[in-house]
A and B are shown apart, each in its own frame.
Chain A
Amino acid sequence: MSIRLQTCTACGTHQYPERDLCRACLRDELVRTENDGQGRLIAATTLHRSLEPDTALPLRIGAVALDAGVRVIAFLGRGVQPGDRVVLHATADAEQHQVFTAEKDPADA
């Protein structure tokens, strides 16, 4: 399993959310690269209210710091707690944006 991250071929910086130029060196040499999605869950919340009436509540989301040096908001798999090593899995939404879920890293048992 892996996710795709926008990466600058000039300086190697990864970025998320996607931008139009490299956030660090501002060059126009971006490609999408495969990434193992590994990181750490920094913080979590359980949502009880949503602005969209069809959101299934309660719903857990979290802030993940990827080893690649980017920060991502993700849905949380069962039992994942802040401080845990996690792996992000991606599905695509209707506009082909990646939607991430953070699961406990099986290698970190």
Chain B
Amino acid sequence: MSGARDYRGVAVTSPVTVPYVRRSDRPAHWFIGSALRALLDASGLDKDAIDGLAVSSFSLGSDTTIALTEHFDMSPRWIEWLPTGGASGVMALRRAARAVQDGDANIVACIAGDTAGSASFSNLVRDFSRFSSTAVYPYGAAGPNGVFALITDNYMRRFGAERADFGRIAVSQRANARGNPNALLGAKPLSLDDYLAAPPIAEPLHLFDCVLPCAGAEAFLVMSDTRARTLGLRRAHIRGAIERHNAFFEDPVAERGGWAMDRDALYAQADLGANAVDCLQTYDDYPVIVAMQIEDLGFCGKGEAPAFLRARDLTVEGDFPHNSCGGQLSCGQAGAAGGFLPVVEALRQVTRQPIGRQVPDARIALASGYGMVTYDRCLASGAAILEGAA
């Protein structure tokens, strides 16, 4: 058991999304500032009331959270910088909650946003980390597709998964994206046949295993439960949260993530089991990572995700609602905002504020994250369980 204190007295409110666009000439600062304005609109708060700021981005150039305080005329007494991509949403949530519990901040704005210029993705990949520049990029310059192709190939051999198993994830998410005006691919239906017939990118990965890079932002507020109630905001409580970094580094190829080390602590802190989760929001950079999260968060055993996916219905109205907004595979990957999407969508579902479709009777949502391929796998993993407050 981790022995971590609980998150009592903390509320999460005001899920906001700055609409995704395929390309943008606006800097990341514009997307992050627009998210901040949307947070103020959603909460009715003045900017001066925000005394904590946590930011995640890949495209701010030499700027970090501190520079943004000057861009936005803010004087917060607590800031956090989270250059941890896919895990940054859960990490921002955990840090902001502790700041509020300890009185270091009253109201924390947690924001992730990125732009998408014509060359920004390839520039990011080329210089992503020291290890990847010297020991991955020279092998065909495939970016994350190459690394995750290797992870997917290993998973398929080891556990007998077939492409159609992963296809069920992509197809169900596309169905969930219908009606979500923010999903860049939401209007394009995807059948399992379409998925299987797609052109290869890095075998066994094909087109619909890969996310569409885009620009956009995701954000939420963290404050005391008392304050949220006074403001009349729909709110969620954090029942439990975990993170782990560089887990299982001796595995030759990643086939499990840090969740497997900490899920018992997560469910113990939350005082509930996986079967109490009404909807799951995973980090879906590639379907194989969704399969790993389903296993490592305890919804089925290791290597059982293929059978689980064949048996369950992952759509909004199904018996295992998963990535109810369509996830990154249908919305697009707005850089670091992709790492906030599971938390923001979980918050939307349990507070009845969806952009697209509502999971019926969703009270408990689990959001998980996975980020930072500095060599041959993601290093950061995290998860949080949110409960809607009546």
Contact = CB atoms under 8 A, between A and B. Distances in A.
B159 interface: no
A45 B131 contact: no
Given A43-B150, A45-B146, A63-B253, A52 B141 contact: yes
Contacts of A16: 135
Interface residues of A, number: 32
A43 B139 CA distance: 14
A18 to B, nearest CB: 8
Contacts of B135: 16-17, 72-73, 97
Interface in B244-271: 252-253
A33 interface: no
Which interface residue of A46, A72, A95 has the most chain B CB atoms within 10 A? A46
A44 B142 contact: no
A63 B199 contact: no
A48 to B, nearest CB: 5
B136 A73 contact: yes
A61 interface: yes
Contact of B203 (A45, A51, A72, A74): A45
Contacts of B389: none
Given A17-B134, A43-B253, A48 B199 contact: yes
A18 B134 CA distance: 9
A71 B154 CA distance: 14
A43 B141 contact: no
Given A48-B199, A48-B203, A63 B150 contact: yes
B140 A17 contact: no
A40 to B, nearest CB: 8
B80 to A, nearest CB: 27
Given A45-B203, A63-B154, A51 B134 contact: no
B118 interface: no
A75 to B, nearest CB: 6
A48 B252 contact: no
A105 B202 CA distance: 25
A65 interface: yes
B131 A17 contact: yes
A99 interface: yes
A47 B150 contact: no
A50 to B, nearest CB: 5
B252 to A, nearest CB: 4
A61 B252 contact: no
A37 interface: no
A63 B126 contact: no
B240 to A, nearest CB: 32
Contacts of B142: 45, 47, 49-51, 61
Contacts of B154: 42-43, 63, 82
Contacts of A17: 130-131, 134-135, 375
B320 to A, nearest CB: 28
B252 A46 contact: no
A45 B202 contact: yes
Contacts of B92: none
Given A43-B153, A63-B376, A71-B376, A48 B202 contact: yes
Identify the 4 closest CB pairs spanning chains A and B, nearest first: A45-B149, A65-B252, A43-B154, A52-B141
Interface of A: 16-18, 42-52, 55, 57, 59, 61-63, 65, 71-75, 82-83, 93, 95, 97, 99
Given A17-B130, A47-B142, A73-B146, 5 more contacts: A63-B154, A65-B252, A73-B147, A82-B153, A83-B157
20 contacts: A17-B131, A42-B150, A42-B252, A42-B253, A43-B253, A44-B150, A45-B146, A46-B202, A47-B149, A48-B202, A51-B125, A51-B141, A55-B141, A59-B140, A61-B146, A71-B253, A72-B135, A74-B139, A97-B138, A99-B138
